[in-house]
Structure 1
Amino acid sequence: MQRIKAIKANFRSVLKDLEAPSASSADVITNLKAVYDEVKASDSERKQILEQTFRDIIRDEVVSSKGKLEDTDIDLLLYLIDISIEALRVNITPNSTPFTLISDLFDCLTIDKCEHIFTYIEYNTEVWMEAHMYNLAKIYLLRICNEFLRRLSRSQNTILCGRIQLFLARLFPMSEKSALNLNNQFNLANITTFGLEDSETDFSKEIAESDSSQANKVDVKLYENLWSMQNYFRDPNQCYDTEKWRQMLSHSDIVLNAFKTIRLDDEIARGYRGTNYVDENDMETSSSEENEAKYFTKFLTNPKLLELQLRDSLFRRHILLQYLILFQYLECSTKSKPTQHVMKKDQTAWVKDTKSKVYSLLCETPPNGDQFSDYCSKLLKREELWIDWKNEGCPPIPNGGEKGEGEKESIPVRKELKRKRKLGDVYRHSKEKRIEIGSEELSRLWNLNSDNMKACQGEDRKFIPELQEYFSEAIEQLDPENMIESEYKLINSSNWSWRALRLLSRKCPYFFQGTNALTKPIGEYLEGIIRQLSRDIDDVDSVGIKAHSPTIPEMDIKTYDK
């Protein structure tokens, strides 16, 4: 044990040079290699000792700063990870060392600091793609990113969640089987709810009294059949059940006949685009605005909108394209399909005839119906190539997507896109130090401050309360002398507890303390943390609370050492 401590001390003395302003990674690696060669032990032992030294330095840095690292401290730790990558390249650390260090940082830092670490991961994507690192990188980074996503709020950290998803899409190849849905699983949770409420029972009466020429073609029966089809689009396997198949035929006949009867012209299609009525005075727009389409993942099912939706070309194309996707699934053969899921002759004939009707309706739907129908046909044929590729066991995709002799058209490999210059770089190299966004007002707003990130970090932009300010009342309630009944305590309020957990995850190191105890109720868990915070508070007066930064108990540090 003494010998290992001595070796770690030698490594640590070399790594201390990182704090020097003139320290270069090449000099540090050279000195590390010299110390590494002097150690009399096996390669695996020396590598493990050096890795543990890296981890100890990171732990000491976090503990000494009490979990509140500054940007300079973060930069130093990231530089330490850079050194570990260089040490890996000269084969003096285990292959997993950089990822172990990154994982340690994500485990002990708050969300704000973890975002800095993730920016570093994004910037070094090419490093993770190197041949000697990629196999481990995709496993470790996938686990790190998934765990980080669980800590984030999809509503408050939307952009960061999107960055993580985009990073994983760049990291993994297109042929990665974990993202291919080889078992043909459907999103059965995507349920479309519809129905006539009590306040809408006069729907048929309103349609009958309407001045529209389509009033006699829009009724409750059409409404129910139209939205009932979403259940089959959501789960096509229902079509292999005899009774469900009959119901689907009945729904389809009514819907497709309505589309065929209610014809659209180009003016109506433009006027009702996006299921929002457009005034006739506003229909004279420029060509660019005229061709601008609005896309929706789901449409509203209010029955009062049905007449407008039937006149909307985008809505009609949405339904018809869903039919084509359903028919392709029913006709195609995949390995994951159950053996009993086979179409009968009469079913195959109906699908073939109905498919031609759907393409005909697409051609009749303005604007540019023929062109859109042709695009849909090519898109579905392209999809057949992917189906065949999956059935063949997902063989490697040839570079460039070239077509070999006697082979089907290959699927092209995604090309790497050049990154656009950031606006900050444009500003930095601009002589006038001004960026034109596109309009006078946007340009004025953008150029109010030379550094927009610092402007966003101003004191007037801070909305997160301090720990002592938020928990002061809860600490007073825990005092037995105040004799507050349990039901009136803040820790038993669900709204207050949720905000408290979000605040603790950002600012309090006690939130990350490990424990071997079983999961406690939120009230008991918060009470324990609040009691720890109260012991760190110096002065309490009638005006407020003054507290120093919470410290990590010594017992937890010893546990980490073990």
Structure 2
Amino acid sequence: MAIPDIEPARVMTFRLQELLERSKHIKKATTVDPALPVSELVGEDELLLSDAVGDKETHKSIVDRAARNIFYDILASTPIDHPAFVQIWNLLDILQYCGDRDQCYPGLVLLLVEELLDSQSIDGCRIVFDFLESRREVLIATNSKNKDLVILRSCNELLRRLSRAEDAVFCGRVYIFLFQSFPLGDKSSVNLRGEFHVENVTNFEPSPQTSEKDEDRMDVDAGRDAEVVKAPDVKEEEGAAKFAAPDQIAKENSQTLDTETLYPIFWSLQHAFSNPVRLFSEENFNDFKKGLEATLAKFKEVPKVIQAPSPEGKRGVKRKFEDGYDEFASTFNPKYLTSRDLFRLELSDLAFQRHILVQALILIDFILSLTEKSKKKPYQVNAQKALQYSFTLSDQDAEWASGIKNSIANYLQEGPDGKFYYRMVDTVLSRDKNWVRWKMENCQPIIRDRVSTTDFLEAKSGAQKAYASKKVRSTLAGLDLRFLSDSESASGLERLKDPDRYVVPSAESFAEAVAGIELDMEMAMAEEEKENLGEAKTSKTWRALRIASKDKLSLFDRIEDGKSLERLFQPDTVDEAAGEESAATAPESRDSIPQEQQRAEGDRRADQGSQVTAAAAVE
């Protein structure tokens, strides 16, 4: 929109410059944080910006022109790492404050940030993004619909400039900022048509072609190697393998492939990972099964190389803005090198193995969703046509997919932090299934409208009435108290003095009551009566045990589950004690005596018997 007069724009420029001068005394720091307290720039009776010139749209255009003049002057003369560049951050804070109060365009601050990102290098963009992350909640608090397009355009343009291999952590920051800036149910980042990233092509070296001369040379080299292997001082791994028995070598070859043979099979899996629709062909699916099985077997066989942990030695340490350290940057790389010379080293890298196996889990979950049983689920039946596939996974292939998925899950749980790593992966994949279902249902709204104030107050009042405590009346004026002085019934106060009202009953009385209830339960016919008697029995049994626990706790082993309470009150006789003592010592009369002592006792008794026999014979 054209500005009719340049003088108002000049006046507004002076006003903004005056505010920036005041900001130097309020915000002493020269960094992005903390944010400028804009409300402290002016007094209570002073306006932040001058009154509107003409209509409101003209006034907003004047503020836009003045802000851009100051913005371009500072940007052209001051590098982003200079302390004086704090004026840019202060200007953006002022414009954000004015935009929320409809004194300028709400998206003006984001438009200037977009131009700032375009003018900086990658290192400068990191600093600009620090500003966006620290002001994110304020930026999207009001008028978010007018800012969504600018945020999406700025972040996508920044992602195109970043290298996913070298700036993987920065890319993650941008994606997180997008996810936090847009509502949860927004369709801007949803792949509604179910398109796969087929542009992500993995190129690898073809198999070397050997000529006749190469074959002759290889035969000669093989003969030379055989001569070297016969030497007794060979200690290399390959030489040791040649000394193994033929049966052992055949067994190993049947389980795992060598590195050269596995190389093209392994990297061919990436074709299926980037375009799962290829597996709808039976030939491709069979190749995928063989390749994944060979890969998993090779991972289990090779020795593991674990990269050094982060300098902090802790998981999930917050990123440091001061030194620019990016955690996990050395252990994560979304695009691995496919050189044959590096393949052996990559196979031993635990981080590399986990990256490949997680890709396999994602693909296996996709093909398991195409079984006949899964496709009968309501949300798949009613899904949009772009997400409905004519291919159906057979029962045999589904069984293989479930088995290989369990094998991968068990292998991922091995190694350092294996349990934690697999739990994290499993949680992410489980939540992703919910997002897939939501997308198949054509992204139904997941945000409910706010409850109106009237409905909330009515519900609150009803809940208070329903669960209000029943208070006892504080006055006794309405009660008839003549019974206290009634002389005919001889009750009155004397009845209140009855000892039965305040003396704790004995446990024997409750035991007798329980026995009476048991007899009544045998005679009861109705189920309701039996239930009432059962509750009364339970109550009196609990009371009896509670009272008896004071002086008869040692006798509780006589009863079981509150049964036969009368055993607690039976007297202990001497005969019973003697019988218990004899029963306790009887088992050890013979078993506890050593065998030698038993033999000696038997010989003594035999001698006594012979003496008696001899005496009888003499008589």
TM-score by length of 2: 0.47
Task: Show structure 1 runs of 5+ residues with no match.
Answer: 277-287, 289-293, 400-562
Cα distance between partner residues in 1 of 2:446 and 2:152: 23
Q: Retained in 2: the 8 A contact 1:8–1:50?
A: yes
What's the offset of the Cα at 1:117?
4.0
Written as runs of structure 1 = structure 2, the 5 A alignment for 1:180-195 is 180-188=190-198, 189-191=200-202, 193-195=204-206
How far the C-alpha of 1:42 sits from its partner, in A, is 1.6
Matching residue within 93, 99, 123 for 2:134? 123
**Which position in structure 2 is the counterpart of 1:55?**
68
Is 1:4 the counterpart of 2:5? The answer is: yes
Matches within 5 A, 1:163-312: 163-188=173-198, 189-191=200-202, 193-197=204-208, 209=242, 211=244, 213=249, 214-217=251-254, 218=257, 225-241=265-281, 245-249=282-286, 252-253=289-290, 256=293, 272-274=303-305
Q: Which has the higher contact order (CA 8 A, sep 6+)?
A: 1
Match of residue 404, structure 2, among 339, 358, 383? 358
Which among 65, 69, 82 is matched to residue 93 of structure 2? 82
C-alpha contact (below 8 Å) 2:185/2:447 kept by paired residues: no
State the Cα deviation string for residues 392-418 of structure 1 (Å, max 9, x = none).
22334469xxxxxxxxxxxxxxxxxxx
Match of 2:434 in 1: 385
Q: Which one of the candidate residues 91, 104, 114 is aligned to 1:93?
A: 104
Which residue type is aligned with residue 304 of structure 2? R
- Relative distance call for 1:105 and 1:234 in structure 2 (3 A) is closer
Work out which of the residue numbers 135, 141, 145 in structure 1 matches 2:151. 141
- Separation in structure 1 between the aligned mates of residue 336 and residue 58 of structure 2, nearest angstrom: 62
Does the CA-based 8 Å contact 2:273-2:359 persist in structure 1?
yes
After TM superposition, the structure 1 = structure 2 runs for residues 414-493 of structure 1, keeping only pairs within 5 Å, are none
Counterparts in 2 of 1:114 and 1:73: CA distance versus 1, 3 Å = farther
* 8 Å Cα contact 2:273/2:363 also seen in 1: yes
Q: Cα offset for 1:355?
A: 2.2
Partner of 1:349: 395
Alpha-carbon distance between aligned partners in 2 of 1:295 and 1:61, rounded to the nearest angstrom:
38
| Separation (CA, whole Å) in 2 of partners of 1:2 and 1:314 | 59
User: Does the aligned pair in 1 maintain the 2:306–2:349 contact within 8 Å?
Assistant: yes
Cα distance in 2 for partners of 1:4, 1:315 equals 64
Letter in 2 for 1:142: L
Alpha-carbon deviation of 1:127?
A: 1.0
- Whole-angstrom distance in 1 between the partners of 2:443 and 2:358: 27
The AA in structure 1 aligned to 2:192 is L
Contact 1:273/1:314 (<8 A) preserved: no
Offset from partner CA, 1:21-64 (integer Å, 9 cap, x none): 55775554864467315x4x22222222222222233334456x
- Measure, in 2, the Cα distance between the counterparts of 1:191 and 1:7: 59
Structure 2 counterpart of 1:42: 55
Larger Rg belongs to: 2
1:136-188 per-position Cα deviation (integer Å, ceiling 9, x unaligned)? 33322333344455566778877665544443343334444333333333232
Query: Which residue of structure 1 aligns with residue 15 of structure 2?
Result: 14
Cα shift at 1:388: 1.0
Kept after mapping to 2: 8 A contact 1:99/1:140: yes
Taking a change above 3 Å as real, the CA distance of residues 358 and 375 of structure 1, as seen in their structure-2 partners, is: farther
**TM-score (normalised: structure 1):** 0.51
Kindly tell me: are residues 139 and 360 of structure 1, through their superposed partners in 2, closer, same or farther at Cα, counting changes over 3 Å? closer
Look up the equivalent residue of 2:400 and give its one-letter code: T
Distance in 1 between residues matched to 2:57 and 2:18, nearest whole Å = 25
CA contact (8 A) 1:239 1:248 kept: yes
Cα gap change, 1:142/1:375 in structure 2, threshold over 3 Å: closer, same or farther?
closer
3-state secondary structure, aligned to 1:180 = coil
Q: How many residues align?
A: 369
Alpha-carbon separation, structure 2, partners of 1:53 and 1:162: 35
Which has the larger displacement, 251-260 or 75-84?
251-260
Q: Is the 8 A contact 2:106 2:147 kept in 1?
A: no
The secondary structure found in structure 2 opposite 1:179 is coil
Structure 1 residue 378, shift from structure 2 partner: 7.0
CA distance in 1, matches of 2:10, 2:332: 62
Cα distance in 1 for residues equivalent to 2:80 and 2:387: 59
Deviation at 1:247, TM superposition (A): 4.1
**In structure 2, what is the equivalent of residue 395 of structure 1?**
444
User: Do the aligned partners of residues 190 and 274 (structure 1) sit closer, same or farther apart at CA in structure 2, a change above 3 Å counting?
Assistant: farther
**What's 2:322 paired with?**
none
| CA–CA distance in structure 2, aligned partners of residues 48 and 331 of structure 1 | 57
Q: Residues 141 and 246 (structure 1 numbering): CA distance in 2 closer, same or farther, change over 3 Å?
A: closer
The residue type paired with residue 238 of structure 1 is R
Taking a change above 3 Å as real, the CA distance of residues 257 and 95 of structure 1, as seen in their structure-2 partners, is closer
In structure 1, what is the equivalent of residue 514 of structure 2?
none
CA deviation after TM superposition for structure 1 residue 195, in Å: 4.2
**AA partner of residue 149 (structure 2):** I
* Structure 2: 5+ residue stretches without partners: 27-37, 226-237, 308-314, 316-330, 370-374, 449-619
Give 1:238 shift. 1.4
Structure 1 pair 231–8 and aligned structure 2 pair: CA distance change class (3 A): closer
Q: Contact 2:165–2:333 (CA<8 Å) still a contact in 1?
A: no
Q: Which amino acid aligns with 1:6?
A: E
Whether the aligned pair in 2 keeps the contact of 1:122 and 1:167 (CA below 8 Å) is yes
Q: Which amino acid aligns with 1:59?
A: Y
Give, in whole Å, the separation in 2 of the partners of 1:323 and 1:2.
60
Task: State the alpha-carbon separation in 2 of the partners of residues 312 and 70 from structure 1.
Answer: 38
